[in-house]
A and B are shown apart, each in its own frame.
Chain A
Amino acid sequence: MADIAAPAYRVIPIIPALKPGAMEGVKSFVANDKIQEALGFPGHLVEDWHDRAIAKMGELLGKYRSLKVYMDACVHCGACSDKCHYFIGTQDPKNMPVARQDLMRSVYRRYFTLPGKLFPKLVGARDLTREVLDEWYTYFYQCSECRRCSVFCPYGIDTAEVTMAAREILASVGYGQKYSNEIIGKVHKIGNNLGLPGPALLDTLQGLEEDVKEDTGIDVRFPIDVKGAEVLLITPSADFFAEPHIDSLIGYAKVFHATGTSWTLSSMASEAGNFGMFVGNYEHLRKIAMRIREAALELGVKRIVIGECGHAWRVAYSFLNTLTGAGDGADANDQFAMLLQKQLDQRYKQPMHICEFTWDMIGKGALSFDKEANDKHIITFHDSCNVARGSRMGDFAGGQFEIPRNIIKAVANNYVEMSPETTRERTFCCGGGGGLLTDDLIELRVKGALPRMEVLQQVVDEHGVNFMATICAICKAQFTKIMPIYGFDRRMVGGVHQLVSNAIRLGAK
């Protein structure tokens, strides 16, 4: 990996000038035949890729209203053109959301619209050539599917939907991405993205019990595969061993301990993340999600709770009921969904975010804290893109912003907001989401973090902020990697439940 320097902060956040082609050489590794074939995709680019790609595009246009409407509705107004962190950080015009969409829209026009068939030049329509296909691969793997552009589009056009469709088409003609597809293979085969087998998981959890005992003198348990537990916790596998993720896992365990909640992890579903969403493949998205259903049915749990992970929470909150029936409100004759919905305790939201769980318990007075334990921290909160723009917490729109902040304020004394232009629904992606958290894209990841680093620097300078809390495994991994390049200490990043863990009272109340 070459040394990558951080781009300079903009003095005032002006819109950068264009640098065409700036990122055309940054291309993540292509999946080999083993990785591809394990997922049922062709091992390498097939001979009739052109016809198969167009046919796949037609199929997706018939299956996804989002894609169909988004291909037709864009007027090239430019509202989104300065909203993408990758455009801001790289200045490559093809990283403007509209230009990224147009990589596909130009092909759509050529093959699926009358003016594009008759007057391609006039309407910006292009044949799907090998160059165009390569350009798709390059730039659709420079999108983190964070949906920031969709907030600002007058028609709500969501580039993530276009990116997902493009990746699905690419994989289906044998042109998949190594990083994402390898991980999907691992989760199918071993049960989690990191490829952590069951025995290793057991060892890790035992080690954690000993660590916490040593630290606090209290027997906090980390149970796994316990039948009849009330709560099934599904958490990103990074929580089992990566720093700082593991400190939040300890936080969840302490919350369950202090509230007397019986809970369990599952070795079958030892992963909340779902890269099926990143590559836009419904079958893999569903198959990965189904492990959660199977674990819940097998263990007979009453509640499903999800750990700190951004895209996992989007999949769980927005899609899990659709994919697996884990939720409420299925038709009475929907036997598939009813089987699980009847088992789950419908007095609670299903599935529930660990932050919702903790905040509920705080509200009930079931938890108490020594807030001073966090006094060494001056804390700010980075909203993770998938949580902010693809999910909700609690009973009201925007609960996903309030609940984590409320928890932080309940467990710590020093809290500072970053610029409102960059938080809540306007938050910037960390720069590593959506299947881009790989070393072969490190240049993109460093540059894409620029807008977040700029405003972090502001609160560091003005308020002495020394801790940025976030509730996403990818944000945590990305920031610990790239923040040193911007001159920050990597330990500045951590989870909300890491702060909970620091302050929670475990003994008698």
Chain B
Amino acid sequence: MSTFFALLFYLAFALFALGLGYKIYDFARTPAPLKIPTTPAPVNAGGVVLRMAREVVLFESLFKSNLWIWGLGWLFHASLALVLLRHLRYFTEPVWIWVAFIQPFGMYAGITMLLGVAGLWARRLFVERIRYISTPSDHLMLVLLMAIALSGLTMTFAVHTDVIAVKGFFLGLMNFNWQALPSSVVLYAHLLMVALLLLIFPVSKLLHAPGVFFSPSRNQADNPREKRHIAAWAKHMESEN
């Protein structure tokens, strides 16, 4: 079993990194031929950084749109961030001080993360408009996240796992010095689903994470009169005149 998970995580991480890397490269190389910031927009690069920061950290546009989606979505994402940071302790030795500091918060963030996802799923199930636009994969994505959170919480609060050994396993993966993974059904389930999440990340709507940084309506400065903006393929037309 340890060998299976070792190979699975090498594969999942490799495909995640390569797939995501390729998508980011693909977004970056595709030109944005016209200035299309949604105005009013910042008039310089500094303003764009602030706008993007508000968008990524506070979900500003979502806040304007719908307080329920904003509240649940923000709760989920903020909790997820804490949970992920908490998990750094499985990959670092010694554990960084700030990771140790957030450890207790990270444990309870697992609960708020679950609440956030459950709320979002309830919206998807019970709000007519959102049910209409949902595909099976939209539902399954939330189920997957809930199952990951539930299995993790089970290990934190009920069926404890030998976390020292888990850490040994992952440090072993990183150092190419494989160690045994404790035998635990809940742990297996948790890791299997996390690997699945890594695998589907670069080919699913999870691309919203890198996508937001490349969205021209948010990342362009509003200065078309002051600075000529032209894509290479469009510039090419000018030589034909």
Q: Which residues of chain A have a CB within 8 Å of any CB of chain B?
A: 15, 17-18, 61-66, 68-70, 72-83, 93, 96, 98-99, 102, 113-115, 121-124, 147, 150-158, 161, 282-283, 286, 317-319, 321-322, 325, 327-331, 334, 336-337, 349-351, 388-392, 395-398, 400-401, 425
Answer whether residue B35 sits at the interface, using C-beta atoms and an 8 A cutoff: yes
- The chain B residue sitting closest to A97, CB to CB, is B133
- A99-B133, A124-B135 are contacts. A115–B203 as well, Cβ < 8 Å? yes
Which of B26, B42, B59, B227 has a CB less than 8 Å from the CB of A329? B227
Q: How large is the interface on B (under 10, 10 to 19, 20 to 34, 35 or more residues)?
A: 35 or more
The 5 closest A-B pairs by CB, nearest first: A73-B211, A124-B135, A152-B65, A156-B217, A329-B227
Q: Which residues of chain B have a CB within 8 Å of any CB of chain A?
A: 23, 26-27, 30-36, 38-43, 47, 55, 59, 61-62, 64-66, 69, 73, 120, 123, 127-130, 132-138, 140, 200, 203-205, 207-208, 211-212, 214-218, 222, 224-231, 233-234, 237-238, 241
Give the distance in Å from the alpha carbon of A116 to the alpha carbon of B215 in the complex: 23
Q: Which residues of B contact A150 (CB under 8 A)?
A: 38, 217
The answer to whether A75 and B208 have CB atoms under 8 Å apart is yes
Name the distance in Å between A333's Cβ and chain B's nearest Cβ: 11
Name the distance in Å between B62's Cβ and chain A's nearest Cβ: 4
- A98-B133, A121-B136, A388-B39 are contacts. A154–B203 as well, Cβ < 8 Å? no
Q: Which residues of B contact A325 (CB under 8 A)?
A: 228
Which of A96, A153, A400 has a CB less than 8 Å from the CB of B133? A96
Give the distance in Å from the alpha carbon of A441 to the alpha carbon of B127 in the complex: 30
Q: Which residues of A contact B40 (CB under 8 A)?
A: 392, 397-398, 400-401, 425
Give the distance in Å from the alpha carbon of A398 to the alpha carbon of B136 in the complex: 41
Q: Which residues of B contact A80 (CB under 8 A)?
A: 65
- A76-B205, A78-B133, A389-B38 are contacts. A156–B224 as well, Cβ < 8 Å? no
Q: Which residues of A contact B222 (CB under 8 A)?
A: 392, 397
Name the distance in Å between A306's Cβ and chain B's nearest Cβ: 12
Q: Which residues of A contact B224 (CB under 8 A)?
A: 317-319, 321-322, 327
Q: Which residues of A contact B129 (CB under 8 A)?
A: 15, 18, 78, 81-82, 93, 96
- The chain A residue sitting closest to B227, CB to CB, is A329
Which of B43, B132, B133, B234 has a CB less than 8 Å from the CB of A396? B43
Give the distance in Å from the alpha carbon of A61 to the alpha carbon of B23 in the complex: 13
